[in-house]
Amino acid sequence: MKIWFTEDQTDGVRLGLKVESLLWKETTAYQELVVANTESYGRLLVLDGAVQTTIGDEFVYHEMITHVPLSLHPHPRKVAVIGGGDGGAIREILKHPSVEEAHLIEIDEKVVEASRRFFPEIAVGLDDDRAFLHYTDGIQWVKDAHDFDVIIVDSTDPVGPAEGLFVPEFYRSIYEALGEHGILVAQSESPFLQPHLIQRVMTGIAQSFPVTRLYLASIPTYPSGLWSFSLGAKGDLVSEVRPELRDMPTRYWTPQIQRSCFDLPKFVEELVR
């Protein structure tokens, strides 16, 4: 018998992954959480029907949402991830020798629990001495935060619990929570399927941040496979990857990708112009 997981990515697009076994399913206080083992991408984490991460391609997303902004900052010491309860972004942030504190602000403790149990290779950084976990609403948390060097919004899609993470007021609070060379990065969905969302996020960030950039990465299990990240910075960005970062153990990010990910295809360039 064949069992398939299907995500309705939009009304007209679906992704199907053949499932070998269902490992976990629960309804948390915030969302429906499913863990399954798939034939082609290994273990899969799903929240409210949307793929969050798979063992097969998680490295792309987690490396690109972290190493790109951390390389653009002259000396990132204090970093925060809003959302990202699987811990993948924290794992990558801790590869940076300058980082002293990596804070995770996750509203749903059950995501962290499931990740520790079913995705130990992704959650591995959460027990590090430099990792600090806060189970609370990121929108409230950021209002009392100060002096962060990089803040990463590793959210679910802009529906349900994550809706408030895609609005200009939230980017303004992040601006206030950042120090002098502060950088914000937010995952901002697909240029093929959510072009207007990307425009909304970039315009929202530009209301607070003088410098904005969009960059792309290829993530096969996310809608359309081409994913965007929106960046806001308070000032000049570091142009050369610092020598101590050049040999970080990564599988997607390289110093060359650091540069080339900002080269946008024409239709995406036009979208954010």
> Which residue, 100, 84, 99, 54, is CA-closest to 153?
84
Distance CA 88, CA 123 (A): 6
Site track 185-224 with ligand AG3 (rule: CB under 6 A), x = hit: --x----------------------------------xx-
Residue closest to 231 by CA, chosen among 161, 178, 164: 178
Pick 187 or 250: Cβ nearer ligand AG3: 187
Question: Residue 50 interacts with ligand AG3 (CB under 6 A)?
Answer: yes
* Out of 38, 52, 228, 258, the residue judged to bind ligand AG3 by CB under 6 A: 52
Which residues is 187 bridged to in the sheet? 229
Instruction: Tell me the C-alpha distance between 268 and 207, whole Å.
Output: 20
Closest CA relative to residue 48, chosen from 190, 158, 135, 146: 158
By beta-carbon proximity to ligand AG3, the closer residue of 171 and 222 is 222
CB of 180 to ligand AG3, least distance (A): 28
Q: Work out whether 230 is an interface residue with ligand AG3 (CB under 6 A).
A: no
Task: Give the shortest CB-271-to-ligand AG3 separation in angstroms.
Answer: 19
Position with the least CB separation from ligand AG3: 50
Tokens encoding 198: 């990307």
Among residues 66, 65, 73, which one has the least CA distance to residue 181?
Answer: 73
The DSSP call for residue 126 is G
Q: Does 232 help bind ligand AG3 (rule: CB under 6 A)?
A: no
Kindly indicate which of the ranges 45-53, 95-103, 196-204, 265-273 contains the residues binding ligand AG3, using the contact rule CB under 6 A. 45-53
Asked whether 61 and 86 are in contact (CB, 8 A), the reply is no
Give the active site residues.
154
Residues making contact with ligand AG3 (CB under 6 A): 7, 9, 50-53, 61, 84, 86, 88, 154, 156-157, 187, 222-223
